[in-house]
Amino acid sequence: MSAIVAIVGRPNVGKSTFFNRLIQRREAIVDAISGVTRDRHYGKSDWNGKEFSLIDTGGYVVGSDDIFEKEIDKQVELAIDEADAIIFMVDVESGVTGMDEDVAKLLRRIDKPVFLTVNKVDNAKRAADAVEFYALGLGEYYTLSSINGSGTGELLDDLVKVLPEKEMETDDLPRFAVVGRPNAGKSSFINALIGEERYIVTDIAGTTRDSIDTKYNRFGFEFNLVDTAGIRRKAKVKEDLEFYSVMRSVRAIEHCDVCLLLFDATRGFDGQVENIFWLAQRNNKGIVILVNKWDLVGDKETHTMKQYTQKIKQAMEPFTDVPILFISVLTKQRIFKAIETAVEVYKNRSKRIPTRKLNDVMLPIIQNTPPPAYKGKYVKIKFITQLPTPFPQFAFFCNLPQYVRDPYKRFLENKLREHFVFTGVPMSIFMRKK
């Protein structure tokens, strides 16, 4: 599980540019994942071999300036609560503002590492101007330019030194995490499964104090059930913040094998639920989608369930091979089916296809539908193997890997799914030089 670093600061100081620079450098190398890159404010980065999760709080603030003030206070408080280290970004062009002083006041009270970072410093005069940020009372500062990247190295060198080491897993039982927005019914779902009021259930969002693990045995299969319903919501933070939900889920998702993404049918598969879905997909976790409170959805005709499923699948494109179950925690309808499905997805995720079988099935398909010629060059795929990783990754060896485009990789992925059943599991396909 990697450490979490939050980037905080008022609007327009360059947080998002800096965030994009850090995650793209890595994405370009590591994440050749087919499909659409979505708008997101969470990413992974690494430096000197140490991996960490990065959260850009700026992406979650929308509204006018006075709303900004309130939102930023809330975000900084949440970041302080949840992150292992904080990058506090200010801007040399505007100098120290009242809003910067407010954020600094919050940050001076905490005992977590805070890196005061002065952005837009791209010449000697600006470097000299940065001196005024000593007034914020946070000690030394870093100067950088997030547009051209100068100065980033020193900041990251010091940042990774203070990040905690990865926690060792205490047991190697599979972990199933129940994730979703606050108030979707996650704790009630676990209570219904365990048959005891193990968690306090109230209808105030965020009453779960801690991410609690429960050993659970069913269908002859033992695993840990992780509840993440709302860990430690500050009394001051009344609103249902998307940022907060995502922050919560990051920890749980990175730490599990299968995510049970539970949401309230009456609220729909909205942007926040979608964010959590993409979070799980990008972390290559197994996913089961649970539509809770289906009994509360009014005027259901015969097609409603089908239409609802279609709508969810549209939002998940191109990764639609995911089980969707309609449940009611209150009446215990299909809740055990949910666990049974999660067990199947876990098995799919750890499935190994023998190389010979893989080639016997896939090579004829590729011969019938070869990759389209590109710039007059023909790609010949000779051999396929599954890589020895915890989730399905396949290497296709060919003469011109650079000419195989994403649509063809998706075609290959669909064929693999069709023949070998990887329902609920993200998959990566790599083209390698033979």
Question: Which residues belong to the annotated binding site?
Answer: 9-16, 56-60, 119-122, 180-187, 227-231, 292-295
Token pair for 390: 């915890």
Which helix (H) or strand (E) segment holds residue 231: the answer is none
* 3-class secondary-structure state, position 392: coil
Q: What is the DSSP string of 341-383?
A: HHHHHHHHHT----HHHHHHHHHHHHHHSPPPPBTTB---EEE
95: left (phi over 0), alpha (psi -120 to 50) or beta: left
* Token pair for 255: 């730490």
Helical spans, DSSP H, in 83-212? 98-108, 124-129, 152-162, 186-194
Distance CA 7, CA 168 (A): 26
Residue 147 makes CB contacts below 8 A (sequence gap 6+) with 14, 17, 120, 122
Please give the structure tokens belonging to residue 354: 């023998």
Rounded Cα distance between 372 and 351, Å, is: 30
In sequence order, the 6+-apart residues with CB closer than 8 A to the CB of 360 are none
Q: Please report, in range form, the residues annotated as the binding site for GTP.
A: 9-16, 56-60, 119-122, 180-187, 227-231, 292-295
Name the amino acid, one letter, at 260: L
Burial class of residue 235 (count of CB atoms within 10 Å of its CB; 0-12, 13-18, 19+): exposed
